[in-house]
Chain A
Amino acid sequence: MENDVVLKMQGICMTFPGVKALDHAGLTLKKGEIRALMGENGAGKSTIIKCLTGVNKFEAGEIYLDGFEGPITNRDTMDAQSKGISTVYQEVNLCPNLSVAENIYIGRAPLTKFRTVDRKQMNARAKKLMEELDLNIDVTANLENYSLALQQMIAIARAIDMDCKVLILDEPTSSLDDREVEKLFQVMLNLKKKGVGIIFVTHFLEQVYAVCDGITVLRNGQLVGEYTVEELPRVQLVAAMMGKDFDDLASIKPEGGEIGKDAPLVIDAKGLSHAGTIKPFDLEIREGEVVGLTGLLGSGRSELARAIYGADRSQTGTLKVKGKEAHIKEPIDAMNLGMGLLPDDRKAEGIIGDLSVRENIILAMQAKLGALHKIPMAKQIELADQFIEMLQIKTASRETMIRQLSGGNQQKVILARWLATNPDFLILDEPTRGIDIGTKTEIQKLVVKLAGEGKSVIFISSEIEEMLRTCNRMAVLRDGAKVGEISGDEMTQEGVMHAIAGGDSNE
């Protein structure tokens, strides 16, 4: 192995039932290099990483690691860790019932001379570690007391505290806001200086060019190529990922912009609120309108949507749906009023992993009809096939269990679930988070198309550009309150940023 190479994977093959997940894929990582691992959903990014960390067993290929003679195999995550390969996963994989310090040190907690866990030292070390990341938090409190973003940072702290040669960050930024991303980049650059090789999986192109040295592109389980950042400008990266010329995203902007005031109101919320999450707000949504909710992470975007949908029952105010006052006690009431909610945490709230793609698609429809009116199998199959086709869901078959699908495809299945109920009003909470740029475009186009058909949509996203492309109007949130709306000429990147930051007169 060359001198400065810390990790080399080559010819990795692996099959899932019915799907060739990896077909002679590979990756080379140098010491002190930050390498982006790019590819569309289902390209095999997560799979190759799981092969590296010993979670998946691969059928062919070799992994070489600096300091080890010949190819290595990792039996499990622990084994990989002991060889110096640490991983931070996209979904936070920590224990909510343990303290922050324990989550960082469990399995390798410092011991006293009596071989017992030295809590004092553990807490002190955790405190110091968190301070290095500029996080001043109580490390003895249970993890569940902290936000998802903080939990992610804690997971990263855990990974970097282990003496690692290779650090894998599997979409660590998808739940972080800009400031936190910046912090993470600082940490990454520090580690790079120390000679740690970092594999960075992300969907944000800006982040690749902001922090990475090299890019490895996978497509359909195969290695497309390994490049330096200079060799591969954005457009070519996208082309390499998609294997075709990049369809310009800007072209999907809906025509007409603002929806006329004469269009009938679908949602008319006055003074809705939910204690502790969202202060009273008013929101009107007209037929065929896409309204974006924008704001920083934790500003109350999702909470506002949940209050309308009844997922968090509103304690104040009134809600009129299509002109009639609605009393939503639980989600089924909202569904019967023609609403649909695509939650942002698809792992916890969206998919039912052990059910097939077909069953996941018809779930909401069946719930709406009630358990007594079973949808005939032929109809189920027809619907499932229709949506698999329409949304281009990559699955081995309609009977494949949904947990075997990649994240983006799972997201599409949940979207299909709501579309199957033929809702008039859809809430899409981060529908494009953690999915590749090609699918993103498809979903954005779909939203615009749905609006064109007269459906109303609440669209929540952390990417302003994406919102500008799809929304007619945007509501701005800050610290759990709706602070303004922007439309028309203000709908520019700067305008939105300004509104979010709170420096303007919209208040």
Chain B
Amino acid sequence: MKKAKLNNNNVLLLITIVLFAAMYLAGCIVYAGKGFTRLQTFLNILIGNAGLISVTCGMTCVMLTGGIDISVGSLVALDCMMMAVGVEKMGMGSPVLMVFILIVGVVFGAVQGFCIAYLEIQPFIVTMAGMFFARGMTAVLSTQQISITSDALFTKLAGTKIEFPFGGYVNTKGILQVPYIRVTVVVALLVVLATFFLLNYTRFGRSIYAVGGNQQSAALMGLDVKKTQLKTYILCSFLTSIGGICFCLNTMNGTVGQATGLEMSAISSAVIGGTLLTGGVGNVFGSLFGVLINGTISSLVQTNGKLISSWANIVTAILLCFFILLQAVFAKVKERNK
């Protein structure tokens, strides 16, 4: 009666990847003279978005359950501020602070997750409260911009370049430029791999998909829906905190206005990467490419030099519409084939 066909979800991921490749290729052709073809340009996109990648992984998990977490941007700001205040004002060591930041993330996620799963409050409302709370706490810690300079280890981590043995070029001054990535990129990519593994090869991960697919069915199949939701929000805030540390390593300061709108970047990256807002469908690799697409757009606008940066937002908006439209079309096709 039914014939097996190419899985729509894979098609979405494929489109995302193809789109990224096409966009990047177009950039390479148009801006070849401005160094877009250099490996480092691509690596810079990774470096610049390392924090966002980790945050988006967490967001993807939450969205897979059918939820949303809009507190992530504020939490990243809080993480950076805690790091800055801890190092500069209290003289604490960065390793201790990192552990502390991760613990704060877990507790933060646990409170949000508890409200959503067990008190059955709308995720949007709960995490909006979380968003205001985290941003508020950031301001309570300090309203000043604090640069992180006095922690040797942290500065070293931020400054470390992991160099590639190939792909270098000689710049105009005749010095060999070797392509490199930062520690944060390694962390972010490890987070992607770990999340992929968690989602696909653990019972918890599969429960996330089941809850997002059909919550009632998941419960009737004997899955603990509430516990799964709680754990997912904890996971999201935890990954956000890892992202927060990466973000801090990039910016090396804490300020109230930091990472404003990061939650929206994370959501849009996940959607462009093929995650359904209704839950149950999505993949962290898609989300990674979602971040890369967003990063490429910004990079293209920057490379152009003449365009104002708002053009990046406009292109993202168009892409978002395109992907949501695409998902709707697929849903329609699926319905019709039933």
Contact = CB atoms under 8 A, between A and B. Distances in A.
B334 A144 contact: yes
A77 interface: yes
Given A106-B206, A109-B206, A116-B201, A97 B280 contact: yes
Nearest to A114: B201
B334 A94 contact: no
Interface in A224-255: none
Contacts of A145: 2, 4-5
B337 interface: yes
Contacts of A117: 200-203, 205-206
Nearest to A141: B4
A106 B221 contact: yes
Interface stretch (B25-33, B211-219, B233-241): B211-219
Contacts of B201: 116-117, 119
13 contacts: A77-B221, A77-B222, A78-B223, A81-B222, A93-B214, A94-B214, A97-B209, A106-B210, A116-B201, A119-B201, A145-B4, A147-B1, A158-B221
Contacts of A76: 219, 222
B281 interface: yes
Contacts of B280: 95-97
B144 interface: no
B281 A78 contact: no
Contact of A78 (B4, B212, B224): B224
A93 B224 CA distance: 15
A76 B203 CA distance: 19
A56 to B, nearest CB: 13
B220 A77 contact: yes
Contacts of B1: 147, 298
B337 A276 contact: yes
A415 B259 CA distance: 55
Given A98-B206, A119-B201, 9 more contacts: A55-B220, A93-B214, A93-B221, A95-B210, A96-B213, A96-B280, A97-B213, A109-B203, A117-B201
B221 A138 contact: no
B220 A93 contact: yes
Interface string A81-92: 100000101001
Contacts of A289: none
Interface string B299-338: 0000000000000000000000000000000000010110
Interface in A54-93: 55, 76-78, 81, 87, 89, 92-93
B171 interface: no
Interface string B159-198: 0000000000000000000000000000000000000010
B71 interface: no
A207 interface: no
A102 B217 CA distance: 13
Interface residues of A, number: 35
A107 B336 contact: no
A146 interface: yes
Nearest to B336: A276
Contacts of A89: 220
Contacts of B210: 95, 98, 102, 106
A94 B2 contact: no
A94 B221 contact: yes
Interface string B259-277: 0000000000000000000
A97 B281 contact: yes
Contacts of A97: 209, 212-214, 280-281
B217 A95 contact: yes
Interface in B3-28: 4-5, 7
A413 to B, nearest CB: 21
B203 A107 contact: yes
B74 interface: no
A312 B219 CA distance: 33
Q: What 4 A-B pairs have minimum CB-CB distances, sorted nearest first?
A: A95-B213, A78-B222, A97-B213, A97-B280
Contacts of B206: 98, 102, 106, 109, 117
A276 B216 CA distance: 30
B207 interface: yes
A39 B2 CA distance: 36
A142 interface: yes
A93 B217 contact: yes
B12 to A, nearest CB: 13
A298 to B, nearest CB: 6
B196 to A, nearest CB: 12
Contacts of A142: 7
Contacts of B212: 97
Contacts of A103: 221
A410 to B, nearest CB: 16
Contacts of B337: 276
Nearest to B337: A276
Contacts of B202: 115-117
